[in-house]
Structure 1
Amino acid sequence: METKSATLKNSTITYVDEGEGEPIVLLHGFCGSSAYWTEVIPVMSKNYRVIAPDLPGHGGSTTALKNYSISDIAEMIKEFLDKFNLDKVTMFGHSLGGYITLAFAEKYSATLNGFSLVHSTAFPDSEEAKKGRSANMEKVKHEGIKTLIDGLVPKLFSPNHLKEQYVEAAKQIGYRTPPEGAIHTLSAMRDRPDRNSVLESTSLPVLLIAGEQDQIIPAEKTFSVSKENIKQMVIKDSGHMSMYENSSELIAAIKDFMENM
């Protein structure tokens, strides 16, 4: 997959753009990159145009902004997507990408056909989780990104999958996260507001995806709102990383959502 680059007002975004047709936007999780979607993009790009950016401060993307919020990242994604002159897109956000997707839907719903949270939640961080974010910020400052990634990545996967090669692949992607980007994003995640109101008020088609064995965000945190336009899906034999652990079932869920919106 070829990586391209777009220059924004305060950022440079690297991204993958594959296929033709109705546009799908894939937003990866914390300390990930567009490479998280390596199994998904080749399949979905056979029938759709798939755009997968590296989020600001991740992968090859940079930003001059400091102390940015989740809403600020959503605004950067909007500026990035404006480069493509697309009428509407369908957005799938994994974990951190889901937080950004909700903020995007809150401000720019008119540019969406629908959206999905993949192993993500509309709830804010608990007080305990906020302390953990702050501790990880200090860890990156004093010990570097590798220590953070070595502690984080194994928790993302089901215990059944810890010996799989893709766990190491996720670590290698994480090691390439700029430390400053990780620190600013931890702050943004820690301070994000409750966005269940976005799910409660939207009339757009929504797909909520949870991992059967997710140790980071359990299903009840993902399935926070039940409405006729919100579909709930549990990925079997998967932790927080179904794009690796059970990509075929994740792809099937994405295809079904796109075909039946």
Structure 2
Amino acid sequence: MTVQLYARDVGSGTPLVLLHAFPLSSAMWLNQREGLATRFRVITPDLRGFGGSVLGGDEPSIEEMADDVARLFRRLGITRAVVGGLSMGGYVAMAMCRRHPDLVMGVVLADTRASADTDEVRDGRVRQAERLETDGTVAVLVDEVLPDLVGPTTLRQRALVYGRVRGLVQATPPRAAAWAQRAMAARAESFETLRELKVPALVIVGSEDTLATEEDAHAMVDALPNAELLVIPRAGHLCAVEQPDLFNQAVAEFAAALARMTN
């Protein structure tokens, strides 16, 4: 089934497509839309089943999610863009590089991993998917996923940010979350994709991220032919939400440099 993604599209200039984390929606990119749309055309889709996008009946697959984004490019008349993804969005961004490299002029990989899941993580995803389908609520995500989404600094000092993230998790449709967990559990590693990448990459990681660690970030940088690494202090897994100014500055400099290279 062909799914037409809902997307927010603001600003003008070089297109910057940002793909959201699990189990959130494009609402997580609020600070990016506000902070980057003065310089770039910022497009933030809801991946299938999340936010304003329907789920469809396809088998769970990160590749399918990347194809959805490629169709969005064509619908919006975008020939090439800087593609950024955080966490699950990073998996989709790497699948875009693999399946639709002609659409990608540069890639931002934030708080994500090129490795496949360990058996333990994969089993946990499948168990959560089953709970989501059985319960019909996202209680398992609030209990088990939410605590690791932000770092201890955010928990201590940024109550409003944590509250916002909690609200986004609670708003997630259970069926979409289950589908996405199964898609992530089934994904293969992406190191070969990174080694063959022909465009520049920016790898970003929160210094307090325990889900996608600095070690994971270094492994991606080592595989990439042309990459720079930024470690954002006092941020956990959602560095773009926890430290938006630092994230936006890095992405703006990276995208602006790419725009100069391609003009």
State the TM-score, normalized to the length of structure 1.
0.93
The question of whether the paired residues in 1 share the 8 Å contact of 2:36 and 2:248 is answered with yes
Residues in 1 aligned to 2:168 and 2:54: alpha-carbon distance in whole angstroms: 16
More strand by share: 1
Equivalent residue, structure 2, for 1:159: 152
Aligned partner of 2:190 in structure 1 is: 195
Aligned to 1:76: 68
Aligned residue in 2 for 1:231 = 228
Question: Quick check: 2:4–2:72 contact (8 Å CA) kept in 1?
Answer: no
Contact map agreement 1:39 1:247 (CA 8 A) in 2: yes
Match of 2:247 in 1: 250
Structure-2 change in CA distance of 1:228 and 1:78 (3 Å): closer
Corresponding letter in the other structure for 2:55: T
Secondary structure of 1:208's aligned partner = strand
Name the CA distance, whole Å, in 1 between partners of 2:170 and 2:179.
16
Cα distance between partner residues in 2 of 1:228 and 1:99: 18
Q: CA deviation at 1:13?
A: 1.9
Distance 2:6 2:168 in 1: 14
Unaligned runs of 5+ in 2: 259-263
Task: Tell me, yes or no, if the aligned pair for 1:70 and 1:189 is still in contact at 8 Å.
Answer: yes
What secondary structure sits across from 1:145 in the alignment? coil
Match of 1:131 in 2: 123
Per-residue CA shift, 1:219-249, capped at 9, x if unaligned?
1112214255111111111000112211111
Conservation of the 8 A alpha-carbon contact between 1:11 and 1:56: yes
Deviation string for 1:143-171 (max 9, x for gaps)?
33331231211211111212511212112
- Counterpart residue identity of residue 231, structure 2: V
Distance in 1 (alpha carbons) for counterparts of 2:59 and 2:130: 15
Q: How much has 1:208 moved relative to structure 2? A: 0.8
Question: Which of the residues 81, 87, 96 maps onto 1:95?
Answer: 87
Is the 8 Å Cα contact of residues 102 and 198 (structure 1) preserved in structure 2?
A: yes
Counting matched residue pairs gives: 253
RMSD of aligned residue pairs (Cα, Å)? 1.4
Hey, what does 2:261 align to over in structure 1? none
Moved over 4 A (4+): none
Q: Is the 8 A contact 2:5 2:68 kept in 1?
A: no
- Give distance in 2, aligned partners of 1:26 and 1:145: 27
Equivalent residue for 1:260?
257
**Secondary structure at the counterpart of residue 209 of structure 1:** strand
Q: What is the CA-CA distance between 1:252 and the residue it aligns to?
A: 1.1
State the alpha-carbon separation in 1 of the partners of residues 141 and 160 from structure 2. 16
In 1: Cα distance, 2:4 partner to 2:54 partner = 5
Question: Cα distance, 1:10 vs. partner?
Answer: 2.4
Secondary structure at 1:40's aligned position in 2?
A: helix
Q: TM-score, normalised by structure 2?
A: 0.92
Cα deviation, residue 126, structure 1: 0.7
* AA matched with 1:254: V
Distance in 2 separating the partners of 1:87 and 1:12:
18
Give, in whole Å, the separation in 1 of the partners of 2:252 and 2:227.
16
Residue 180 of structure 1 and its aligned partner are, at CA, apart by 1.2
Query: Do 1:59 and 1:173's aligned partners in 2 also have CA atoms closer than 8 Å?
Result: no
